[in-house]
Structure 1
Amino acid sequence: MISLTHDGTTLTLPGDLFWADRYGWRSVTAAAQYTLTGALVLEYHQRQAGRPITLEAARDRAWMDRGTADTLQAWANIPGAEMQLDWHGEIHTVHWRHEDGALELETLRELVPHQSADRVIATLRFLETPE
């Protein structure tokens, strides 16, 4: 199960959302510099936070209803919104990654009039932050 909680309100998200960048982030960074004498100086650092979490749906899976999409859109419009992401039992404190688009929503089929049960394809972009 995947859920997202903000200010005491919890949304259940489709359980088959794909975590696209799960294995692409590294917590260790390194810098290499040469001194004036030509010696190599290596510095290593452990990142404290900042892991990107991108959850993606597709045309054939992980749809959500319009009501859930509307709530996500409202939350994405709150500056500095802090949320708790429960990814199948792993808890992550996250913020929207606005610099990368934060949230993309596309209706599966455009139906008029709109119904809260209409299906929506979503991409959610978060940044993991310290608790």
Structure 2
Amino acid sequence: MSITLTHTPAVGAPTTLALSDRLVWTDEHAWQAPQMATDYGTQGDLMVHVRARNAGRPITLEGQESAAWMTLAQVQALQAWADMPGAQFTLHLRGLDRTVMFDATEGAAIDARPLWPLLDGEQTADMPMQPTLKFIEI
């Protein structure tokens, strides 16, 4: 299955960027909708408070040293999208469309490292990068 990220501007045609289907969703099973909190009443009874979250699921997609590389040009295109305040995107992942935003709540939403060290001036648009992309489902 392919992974895509689509931006639909208020005016104009949507733009879709194909991402590698080898990106690993590292926090796929680290989130659940129900949240619980416990407290004790004045009589010492345990009170359990449960609520369901409707949004806010983190989606972190990571490339590996041996797979899911992106070009520097793709990383720069994603960075331009991440720099748009409040922009929403459609992430097609695991056969489902999810409405997401880039998640910069704990640092940068995009991190990409070259696969090997390069001298200044040796970088090209097709240089392979190992990406980490952080989204939050809204």
Q: Same fold (TM over 0.5)?
A: yes
Deviations 1:16-55 (A, max 9, x none): 0000000110110111111111111111101010000000
Which residue of the other structure, out of 29, 46, 52, is the alignment partner of 2:58? 52
Instruction: Say which SS state the counterpart of residue 105 (structure 2) adopts.
Output: helix
**TM-score (ref. length: structure 2):** 0.88
- Counterpart CA distance in 2 for 1:108 and 1:86 is 26
SS of alignment partner, residue 99 of structure 1: coil
Letter in 1 for 2:103: R
Aligned match for 2:114, one of 91, 98, 107: 107
- Paired residue for 1:15, among 21, 33, 43? 21
5 Å-filtered alignment, 1:60-99, equals 60-99=66-105
- Deviation of 1:74 after TM superposition, in Å, equals 0.6
The alpha-carbon deviation at position 88 of structure 1 amounts to 3.7
The match for 1:127 is 136
Deviations along 1:31-86, one digit per CA (max 9) or x if unpaired, are 11111111111111010100000000011110011211110111111111111100
Secondary structure at the counterpart of residue 4 of structure 2: strand
Under a length normalisation based on structure 1, what TM-score does the superposition of the two structures give? Answer: 0.92
The total of aligned residue pairs comes to 129
Mapped to 2, the partners of 1:60 and 1:71 lie a distance apart of 22
The CA deviation at 1:115 is 2.3
Alpha-carbon distance, 1:113 to partner = 4.0
CA RMSD of aligned residues (A): 1.3
SS in 2 for 1:98: coil
Alpha-carbon offset, residue 99 of structure 1? 1.2
